[in-house]
């Protein structure tokens, strides 16, 4: 499979509308996925991936 065009990192930054304190970052290296990170700005850690229906770019 050919790599995707190279972009600045993060390639995508999105926030969840529920819970409103979580977000998602996508990073690439040389056109391939290198890191997928979910983060929280609340005091509670994320114990499961939030429902993708609530992602807002």
Give pLDDT, residue 16: 85
Give pLDDT, residue 34: 93
Give pLDDT, residue 56: 85
Is residue 31 in a domain?
A: yes
Residue ranges for the chain with pLDDT beneath 70: none
Is residue 52 in a domain?
A: no
**Parent domain of 18:** 1-38
Nearest Cα to Cα of residue 51 among 21, 17, 6: 17
Is residue 26 in a domain?
A: yes
Give pLDDT, residue 25: 93
Q: How many domains does the chain have?
A: 1
Sheet holding 55-56, edge to edge: 32-40, 22-29, 12-16, 55-56
State both tokens at 16: 């969840």
- pTM (2 decimals)? 0.73
pLDDT tens column, 3-14: 888 888 888 898
The answer to whether the beta carbons of residues 55 and 16 sit under 8 Å apart is yes
Cis peptide before 10 (omega within 30 of 0): yes
Is residue 48 in a domain?
A: no
């Amino acid at each position: 499979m050919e790599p995707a065009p190279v972009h600045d990192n993060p390639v995508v930054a999105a926030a969840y509308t529920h819970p409103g304190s979580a977000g998602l970052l996508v990073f690439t290296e040389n056109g391939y996925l290198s890191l997928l990170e979910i983060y929280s700005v609340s005091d509670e850690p994320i114990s499961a991936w939030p429902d993708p229906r609530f992602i807002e770019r």
